[in-house]
Amino acid sequence: MCGIVAYIGRKQALPILFEGLKRLEYRGYDSAGVGVLNGEVHEVHVCRSVGRVRVLEDKVEAAGGLTGTIGIAHTRWATHGGVTEANAHPHRDDSSVGHRIAIIHNGIIENYSSLKKYLEEKGHSFTSETDTEVLAHLIGELYHGDLEKAVQAALREVTGAYAIAVICAEEPDTLVVARKGSPLLVGVGNGEFIVASDSSAIVAHTTQAFTLPDFTVAKLTRDNFRTATIDDVPITAEVRELEFELAEIELGPYEHYMLKEIFEQPRSLRMTLQGRADSRTGSIVLGGIGEHARTLANAKRIVMVGQGTALHASMVGKYLMEDLAKIAAEHDFASEFRYRNPIVDFGTAVIAVSQSGETADTLAALQEAKQRGALALGVVNVVGSTIARETDAGVYLRVGPEIGVASTKAFTGQIMALAMLALFIGRRRYLSQDFVSSFISEMNAIPDRITRVLERSDSIRTATAKYVDRENWLFLGRGANYPVALEGALKLKEISYIHAEGMPAAEMKHGPIALIDKGMPVVFIATRNSQYEKVLANISEVRSRGGHVIAVATEGDEEIRSMAEEVFYVPQTIEALQPLVNVIPLQLLAYHAAVLRGKDVDKPRNLAKSVTVE
């Protein structure tokens, strides 16, 4: 979703802003813009364009560049108004006062139409369809020689979500940023500040940063900063060390971030497990659960909420919780949970599952559950993210930054974290030390099992090539392999734009079987488990109608060869952990399909990495 970068310091702002924008490209966007304040002439120069950051860069260069040591830049993912240059940020205040203010914004100003009406009555005229331009005008209207005060006053009138960075031609030594709901991080350098939507645009410059609580504003001057609420009550910002290094967000020898992250999974899962799962003592140590262990172990019900891939991980989590922790467990779209008057009480633990920790619906669902008395937990990747900060306790994934829009290593990290959480609870309820010890041994063996699947990437590519021109696919699985089927279908549609549906294998007979005709690819997750025979029966149903079967099967299963056009073999593990291995060939299938179809794997159309609006 929209990416924000802003700079104030002693260096030229433009190259720093462009480098930051490129680091944020992965978030997803459709247009971009930059504004630099030239302190000598007291003017803000703005350049905007539709399309890639590269296009904007060429445009700025053709116009002779932008000079100044303070600036703001933005990648926009359209919400209010179409994808046009006029709607791209930065937005400015009324031209009649000479465009003093320029602003970039991520979020949604919900009451923008009433504010717009009020401003129009005062003589303002607007050049875009955006809510952000209204905010720019409002700040301009309230500006009386102090930018920080004008921003505070404007935000007191606003309902909605925002992360903003504002500059003013009359104050060349001030950058004002503010936040409510949308992500914003302030990097603290030596005589400079770099503000961004996430740390990937900051780590090249500094590893010291602070986040702003909701409803607060930071005034950044080159050597100093001041933080206060929108009512001007001073607050103290806590500067902390950023968790990851620049090398982690570099592509290295890989062609795409998605491929890099698929191949990182053995290592990232070792990080998830490190120091937490000890097979010798049969113990799970989760420091992030702290004093809530007893409440969690006594919970009557667990509800896991998330969106997209995180929801699929939550679905696997349901099986793990019921199997290992023996607690009634559910999963739900965070977006549905928050609006359906859910039954939540003191015996309920709600787990928000999220890679970014910023998904607006997941955050709102968590807040709703907290308000109703639930224990609020998080299974989150990004340290210090909003969801992580809002929870009572949680488990970080520790899989490192995920840049590819199609989530891969976060999915396996989420399942592993939920498995640890289930064992942690189960051990306090019913599970013996011996059981937990042997389960942990198997968990620790998962990274090597995944490596074995990754070694087959080339043959998966060869098989995928045969079906890559088919526009409709089905993915079928039973039990915990049903969410794997959903995830396989999601990966394929996200990056190759092939229509794919995932469903429980038994459900196929209740309608979708009508779709199957000659040559339609149907992917079965058919590893040997308690429901294996049933899956074979479903495979026969597909074959007898001319469908082409691609099976994910257990190494050594020769029987399945005669029933499938293609077989992707995976090593066997215990049934509860098998989704961690089974999803790997499906990630590779989606990746190869997208590359073979010539699609931009890391920047799929219309998608955002982190969805910070409802």
> Residue 383, SS3?
coil
**91 CB burial (10 A radius; 0-12, 13-18, 19+):** buried
CA distance 284 to 443: 12
Q: How far is the CB of 386 from ligand G6P (least distance, A)?
A: 11
Q: How far is the CB of 424 from ligand G6P (least distance, A)?
A: 22
Residue 587 binding ligand G6P, by CB under 6 A: no
Residue 199 binding ligand G6P, by CB under 6 A: no
Which residues make Cβ contacts (< 8 Å) with residue 278, sequence separation at least 6? 284, 285, 440
Residue 412 binding ligand G6P, by CB under 6 A: no
Q: Which is nearer to ligand G6P, 127 or 606 (CB)?
A: 606
Binding segment for ligand G6P (CB under 6 A), chosen from 60-68, 175-183, 348-356, 562-570, is 348-356
Per-residue interface string for the shown chain with ligand G6P, residues 369-398, x marking contact by CB under 6 A: ------------------------------
List, by residue number, the catalytic residues.
2, 609
Q: Which is nearer to ligand G6P, 90 or 306 (CB)?
A: 306
Q: How far is the CB of 28 from ligand G6P (least distance, A)?
A: 7
Residue 130 binding ligand G6P, by CB under 6 A: no
Binding segment for ligand G6P (CB under 6 A), chosen from 46-54, 306-314, 424-432, 532-540, is 306-314
Sheet holding 566-570, edge to edge: 499-504, 472-477, 521-525, 548-554, 566-570
Binding segment for ligand G6P (CB under 6 A), chosen from 32-40, 304-312, 433-441, 506-514, is 304-312
**186 CB burial (10 A radius; 0-12, 13-18, 19+):** buried
Q: How far is the CB of 257 from ligand G6P (least distance, A)?
A: 12
Residue 356 binding ligand G6P, by CB under 6 A: yes
Tell me the residue ranges of DSSP E strands in 322-399.
328-333, 348-354, 375-380, 393-396
Residue 20 binding ligand G6P, by CB under 6 A: no
Instruction: Please pick, from the candidates 24, 165, 405, 576, the single residue that binds ligand G6P as defined by CB under 6 A.
Output: 405
| Helix ranges (DSSP H) in 231-333 | 257-263, 265-273, 293-297, 308-320
What is the chain's length?
Answer: 614
CA distance 257 to 187: 24
Q: How far is the CB of 403 from ligand G6P (least distance, A)?
A: 11
CA distance 608 to 498: 18
Q: How far is the CB of 310 from ligand G6P (least distance, A)?
A: 4
Residue 554 binding ligand G6P, by CB under 6 A: no
Instruction: Please pick, from the candidates 87, 216, 362, 554, the single residue that binds ligand G6P as defined by CB under 6 A.
Output: 362
Residue 268 binding ligand G6P, by CB under 6 A: no
Burial 53-73 (b: 16+ CB within 10 A, else e): beebbebbeeeeebbbbbbbb
The amino acid sitting at 597 is: R
Binding segment for ligand G6P (CB under 6 A), chosen from 192-200, 244-252, 289-297, 300-308, is 300-308
The amino acid sitting at 529 is: N
Residue 272 binding ligand G6P, by CB under 6 A: no
Is the torsion defined by CA of 435, 376, 182, 359 positive or negative?
A: positive
Residue 106 binding ligand G6P, by CB under 6 A: no
Q: How far is the CB of 544 from ligand G6P (least distance, A)?
A: 36
Residue 216 binding ligand G6P, by CB under 6 A: no
SS (H, E, C) 470-533: CCEEEEEECCCHHHHHHHHHHHHHHHHCCEEEEEEHHHHHHCHHHHCCCCCEEEEECCCCCCHH
Residue 492 binding ligand G6P, by CB under 6 A: no
CA distance 347 to 326: 14
Size of the site for ligand G6P (CB under 6 A): 16
Q: Which is nearer to ligand G6P, 282 or 306 (CB)?
A: 306
Binding segment for ligand G6P (CB under 6 A), chosen from 224-232, 270-278, 356-364, 420-428, is 356-364
Residue closest to ligand G6P (Cβ):
308
Q: Which is nearer to ligand G6P, 310 or 484 (CB)?
A: 310
Contact between residue 193 and residue 187 where contact means Cβ atoms under 8 Å apart: yes
> Residue 109, SS3?
strand
CA distance 118 to 543: 65
CA distance 136 to 147: 12
> Residue 584, SS3?
helix
Per-residue interface string for the shown chain with ligand G6P, residues 167-196, x marking contact by CB under 6 A: ------------------------------
Residue 258 binding ligand G6P, by CB under 6 A: no
Instruction: Please pick, from the candidates 310, 316, 350, 376, the single residue that binds ligand G6P as defined by CB under 6 A.
Output: 310
Binding segment for ligand G6P (CB under 6 A), chosen from 97-105, 308-316, 368-376, 425-433, is 308-316
Q: How far is the CB of 336 from ligand G6P (least distance, A)?
A: 14
Q: How many other C-beta atoms lie within 10 A of the C-beta of residue 458?
A: 10
CA distance 321 to 480: 12
Q: How far is the CB of 602 from ligand G6P (least distance, A)?
A: 12
Name residue 108's beta-bridge partners: 161
Residue 609 binding ligand G6P, by CB under 6 A: yes
Q: Tell which residue, 482, 530, 489, 486, has the closest CA to residue 506.
A: 482
Residue 354 binding ligand G6P, by CB under 6 A: yes
Dmax over CA atoms of the chain, in Å, equals: 79
Binding segment for ligand G6P (CB under 6 A), chosen from 84-92, 303-311, 416-424, 511-519, is 303-311
Q: How far is the CB of 361 from ligand G6P (least distance, A)?
A: 8
Q: Which is nearer to ligand G6P, 356 or 582 (CB)?
A: 356
Q: Is the peptide bond before 571 cis (omega within 30 degrees of 0)?
A: no
Residues engaged in binding ligand G6P (CB under 6 A)? 306-310, 354-356, 359, 362, 405, 407, 607, 609-611
